[in-house]
Amino acid sequence: MFTKILIANRGEIACRVAATARRMGIATVAVYSDADAHAKHVAACDESVHIGPAPAKESYLCADKIIAAALATGAQAIHPGYGFLSENAGFAQACADAGLVFIGPPASAIDAMGSKSAAKALMEKAAVPLVPGYHGERQESDFLRAEADRIGYPVLLKASAGGGGKGMRVVERSEDFEAALASCKREAISSFGDDRVLVEKYLTRPRHIEIQVFADGHGHCVYLFERDCSVQRRHQKVLEEAPAPGMHPDRRAAMGEAAVAAARAVGYVGAGTVEFIANQDGSFYFMEMNTRLQVEHPVTEMITGLDLVEWQLRVAAGETLPLKQEQLRLHGHAIEARIYAENPEKGFLPSIGTLTRMRSAPAVEFTLAAPGATQPAAVRIDAGVREGDAISPFYDPMIAKLIVWGEDRDAALRNMARALAQYQVVGLATNIGFLQRLIAGQAFATADLDTGLIERHRETLFPTPARPTTETLALASAALLQQEKRGQANNDPWAQTSGWRLNMPLRRTLSFEDESGHSSVTIDYAGDGQHWQLQVDGSTHTLALHESDTESLLINLDGRTLRAHVAREGQWLHLFDGRSQHSLRYLDPMAHAGHAEAEGGRLTAPMPGKIVALLVEQGASVAQGTPLLIMEAMKMEHTIAAPSAGTVEALRYAVGDQVAEGAQLLDFKAA
């Protein structure tokens, strides 16, 4: 077994690998960019090496720097994690050439599966079912459009070298093909350095089911059951679970055997995932093989009691697989939710900022019982950031992976709902509220799954913002009153906040706003500093405040006890009541109003990025919703559209220009 390994990655996967290595007594080396000098994964390892500036192409994608760091620190092997260089055949070969073990498949297997087109040709020879489509080398636009016309719409364009949902477009009509192809190729060349695409028939209401395979260097290969990853947005997974709901044992065996056949066809070694698209009728087709550990591998670990990173290390060190196929058992049900810094209500736009507060459900650090043991922990959190850390524009905005286990799917769902409700994140937007609505929705709760679930249930998943309840407004008001009580000076009559007045009690109005609009609460002070009368929407309520600590709030509203955790961020009050988060902006009458950030006719960059396409010319008259330009940020394309009918008076940037968050992109005059 190795005595020291280098982890060529960052974030939660680097922390995850380091945890298993520590348990096995293997020393670890972290690598880090300028942006990650104080990151959690650096602290999780025994030593660390700086490898360059923040952009990944100057640090985490620099194979020569990573190999030099491994050699300089005496590491014997390199674990690539996922993303970055994990599926780069050239990197795997460079490791071997340098005398280092690449903890993953051989370069030949990565190369074989790295091109989706070549992989599908191999799978056809191995008798693995394929989706109808064109997987060849010809890339002329007219030819690809003709192939799409032949296959029949809708079709799916996919980057041949892609993964992670990047470089994928659904095309509904022939006349939309060229624009979709151009966008797909731009994203593909940016993300993978290769703009080749393939065209496939887009199946309606398919499920995304993948099989975890594992092979050693001694000819053994097994499948560790399946994961259902159907719940996606922008072709990126949101929720994953194992086993797949409704999976019949015969179908599981057929898919598992097809996955093993796919792995054997390329001489696979190590952990890999064979992804299938499955029809509701039970038929399934090969999509691709990911030649690495998957983001969602924890759900497989939770139902098998196995540590897949430990298996990776043992296989890379030349050992045989710890178990045979007939020895593998699945137990219970596991679900994983990806907690992201993003705004679902704004097209899942990534959010950048500092995690000024991050609290979660009680969970265990990554630990698993020995193979064959029964119940694992009910809640597991794999995180690569801590409270106080920043989510930067340079890398994927994942905050954590929340994984829960239950004796059955219903128990796992209850554990997930409870764990999500206990999350408290302040400092940036997150998808936690969206995830809560998603798992509570009838479709997911009843396992009516397919890759279009989110779009199909958009109305319930993205509801019109509701006005805050009386309970929420009472808690927000009490939070302000409590802060005033704590801030008053002792024995100073001019600093008292009891509301005492000479001839009548004080009446005061507190104003708040959120995405639903403006709300106000009128407060009549009783004079004792503990009781108040609240007027909300014409109704009167009695409020009593109980003392608590600086982060907790306990009140009595009309005889009912309410509790919440409170975090104040400037004028914003964030209330966590054990079920959900409510954020209200307090409109302090003593604060300066300031100036509105947005001006009429101004369209600004939602985040730092690069201009990749200008879709209109200066002077163009456009209708509302017309795409004006395309930005690339965090490896995703974002289209800036006209807010109304009007005229483009000036374009301030050219294609290729980098722009800062909030930069004015163009001058626009509304009609």
From the list 161, 449, 182, the residue with the least C-alpha distance to 169 is 182
Q: Which of 195, 416, 164 is nearest to 296 (CA)?
A: 164
Tell me, what amino acid is at 98?
A: A
Of the candidates 172, 250, 263, which has an alpha carbon nearest to the alpha carbon of residue 216? 263
Catalytic member of 10, 227, 252, 292: 292
Residue ranges for the chain with pLDDT beneath 70: 164, 364-377, 486-505, 527, 548-550, 590-602, 634-636
pLDDT in tens, 319-363: 999 999 999 999 999 999 999 999 998 888 888 889 999 999 887
Helix/strand/coil (H/E/C) assignment for every residue in 347-358 = CCEECCEECCEE
**Under 8 Å between Cβ of 415 and 379:** yes
Q: Tell me whether strands 4-7 and 77-79 are parallel, antiparallel or unpaired.
A: parallel
Q: What angle do CA 319, 322, 328 make, to 5 degrees?
A: 155
Model pLDDT, residue 599: 40
Residue of 649, 664, 655 lying closest to 617 (CA atoms): 649
DSSP 606: S
DSSP assignments along 459-473, one per residue: HHHSPPPPPPPHHHH
Sole residue written with tokens 């096995």: 24
What are the C-alpha distances in Å from 17 to residues 24, 154, 196, 307?
Answer: 11, 40, 33, 10
Residue 292 annotated in active site: yes
Instruction: Of 503, 511, 556, 564, give the one whose Cα is nearest residue 532.
Output: 556
Which strands sit side by side in the sheet containing 239-242, from one edge to the other? 284-290, 270-278, 207-215, 221-228, 239-242, 333-340, 398-406, 379-383
